[in-house]
Structure 1
């Protein structure tokens, strides 16, 4: 039987890592030895570097070209007519391996840069399932998406202000969220809505500590405290809280990192700021969080206890929030679990022109796409609905064994 032209089918494969490359080549029936040689050629990565001198950029470009890859740089690099340049590195994993080996032998700070490029590629390859010890309770990351339920002990939260100020009402709501599938309860005493009024440490503690005392006795999942203040975090951890969710990524209170390290608690670091001016928002957001990770580690916080959050709705315009959601996958370069908090936020309101109590579908869209882009934890108000969204998304991305 002759194979006619009309009998040949053409498909496309999107391969992000070596595991996928191996799997696809095995399906073809390739020789195992050939797979080992070919797989690194099937994974293509583009990295963006910034702040390079023309000397550094020229060496990087020549070394990558020598291995069959390439690097895009500013036109003025060749004649040193620019002071610094951004650079796009273009290559397969095989090309990167040879490039990194050679770059480690170069001067001008390039040896250290080679190590950072190597680490970035390792992070982009993904990481196996991991466990976070939350002071006696365990979170399993990587098997399925975790859902964090929001518990606001505030009179002025944009979504549910005043509903859970009473400790008994707060406990009842927390227990219901756990029954609905919440893996973490995030308790906060300060509103972060636009135009909110700052409150004292004493008032913040007055709001959350009576609630926390009830939660640690009755709730069987980790309790996170949404605070940037060291004194509040210390008292909460002393009373049994399991994690800290810091909306200022250790920039709000210089003492917070030491408190978290002392209690060996996990911490969530969120991107924030006072300006919405960015050249490349994801590059600068990543740099901000990388600095916070370094600050945390220098104080004694284990890298395995760090979770990062892109900070949707904070120091970003409407358009920038949408861009961060589109480019969320770029945040995986840090190699830390990603927390995504979009629930009922203004980016949904502005897109759909809906009041706060009608944003569940918009939230669901951001949750599903966020999980597909690498989010490990989603922080939500509507726990039952978003657990269902997460399970369905997990079933598509990870396989049906993660459904239910």
Structure 2
């Protein structure tokens, strides 16, 4: 009898559960077996050798494992990175054991429990004024409206009110879920504009959009004064490229008005961020930066459920860095927040395909679709109609 064996490509818990459903496994059986089917590799950095040794022993005790530096066994090194290797069922066994161990392993047990919860989370409700976006039901499209004369792709096109409003109308008709308005270019090498000039560009348009359209408005700014006046004019969300690093007062504004906040990773400033950016651990550094941004926000009184994270494609990254981020984007799920991605027309696509700005649509769509499969729930784009079709 031929039993037709094949290896399944089940990359997440949902896929495993669907296959168990097809087989006809009981509800309790699905719960137990799904925990055994997915392998989670959890990276820890700079762990004291004593803790690393204990971790390996505890993981082995539940039939899982941990990779540590070879010198740890003889205590020839003081620290080591650790790669934990186990299924959800393994972690459920080892976490209670770690609670009673020294060397901060009791704290690690809490972190591991939270990370396992975070990476399985799929339901996020984004409250934008009187509207709600259920990011589990569909990926949200954030249409870009640059009111600047020097943005890298559409600089100067929408500086006049009539053209800006016509562009909003077009993006709404094409399926945008929210509009992101920028009054200061953050392209590589860009110089800062005055607060007065940024306000002059943004505030009248925010008011007009609010008056004419029923679509949530995000304002792309890292400045507290801009954010406050934009929110008072009708903006529903703030998109901060600095992750609360450039203006220490922004967090108080966001906390006061209780609006959603995008926290983005950036290395350096727009003026110098592309001057040979380098990383020891690209995703590790991005996640650490964003984790710290979340802590800053929460300590200021910002509700964590209002926070969105963005790895900052093109903001202090080489073309190779950007490709690695998209390929490993799911690692950001460890933070338990919805992921926003912005790849639209960016230079790394041009570098890979050797194409100018006007010919990067297909590359942008391909990168966006890959990012969505890796966990992105909001995509920021110049090309709303095409992006909506591609991801739907």
SS in 1 for 2:376: coil
C-alpha separation in 1, matches of 2:265 and 2:246: 12
Counterpart residue number, 1:249: 243
RMSD between superposed Cα atoms in Å: 1.4
SS in 2 for 1:162: coil
C-alpha separation in 2, matches of 1:85 and 1:73: 6
Distance change >3 Å, CA 186–CA 33, structure 1 → 2: closer
Counterpart residue number, 1:23: 18
Distance change >3 Å, CA 112–CA 159, structure 1 → 2: same
In structure 2, which of residues 6, 19, 39 is the aligned counterpart of residue 44 of structure 1?
A: 39
Distance change >3 Å, CA 19–CA 382, structure 1 → 2: closer
In structure 1, which of residues 91, 98, 120 is the aligned counterpart of residue 115 of structure 2?
A: 120
- Unaligned runs of 5+ residues in structure 2 are none
Taking structure 1 as the reference length, what is the TM-score of the superposition?
0.92
C-alpha separation in 1, matches of 2:164 and 2:51: 56
Name whichever of 26-35 and 328-337 sits farther off: 26-35
Report if aligned partners of 1:40, 1:92 keep a CA contact under 8 Å in 2: yes
C-alpha separation in 1, matches of 2:235 and 2:26: 53
In structure 1, which of residues 166, 169, 172 is the aligned counterpart of residue 163 of structure 2?
A: 169
C-alpha separation in 1, matches of 2:89 and 2:357: 49
Report if aligned partners of 1:348, 1:359 keep a CA contact under 8 Å in 2: yes
Report if aligned partners of 1:15, 1:42 keep a CA contact under 8 Å in 2: no
1:368 has 2:369 as partner: yes
SS in 2 for 1:139: strand
C-alpha separation in 1, matches of 2:232 and 2:284: 37
C-alpha separation in 2, matches of 1:347 and 1:9: 44
Report if aligned partners of 1:16, 1:44 keep a CA contact under 8 Å in 2: no
Distance change >3 Å, CA 189–CA 33, structure 1 → 2: closer
SS in 1 for 2:74: coil
SS in 2 for 1:78: helix
1:288 has 2:289 as partner: yes
In structure 1, which of residues 98, 103, 109 is the aligned counterpart of residue 93 of structure 2?
A: 98
SS in 2 for 1:213: helix
1:179 has 2:179 as partner: no
Deviations 1:197-247 (CA, angstroms, capped at 9, x unpaired):
211111111111121121111121110000000011011011111000000
SS in 2 for 1:376: strand
C-alpha separation in 2, matches of 1:123 and 1:314: 26
- Unaligned runs of 5+ residues in structure 1 are 392-404
Counterpart residue number, 1:59: 54
Counterpart residue number, 1:228: 222
Deviations 1:276-324 (CA, angstroms, capped at 9, x unpaired):
2212111111111010011111111111100000100011111111111
C-alpha separation in 2, matches of 1:148 and 1:55: 47
C-alpha separation in 2, matches of 1:92 and 1:14: 16
Report if aligned partners of 1:150, 1:379 keep a CA contact under 8 Å in 2: yes
Matched positions, count: 385
In structure 1, which of residues 120, 135, 149 is the aligned counterpart of residue 143 of structure 2?
A: 149
Counterpart residue number, 2:64: 69
C-alpha separation in 1, matches of 2:28 and 2:262: 43
In structure 1, which of residues 122, 131, 137 is the aligned counterpart of residue 125 of structure 2?
A: 131
Counterpart residue number, 1:79: 74
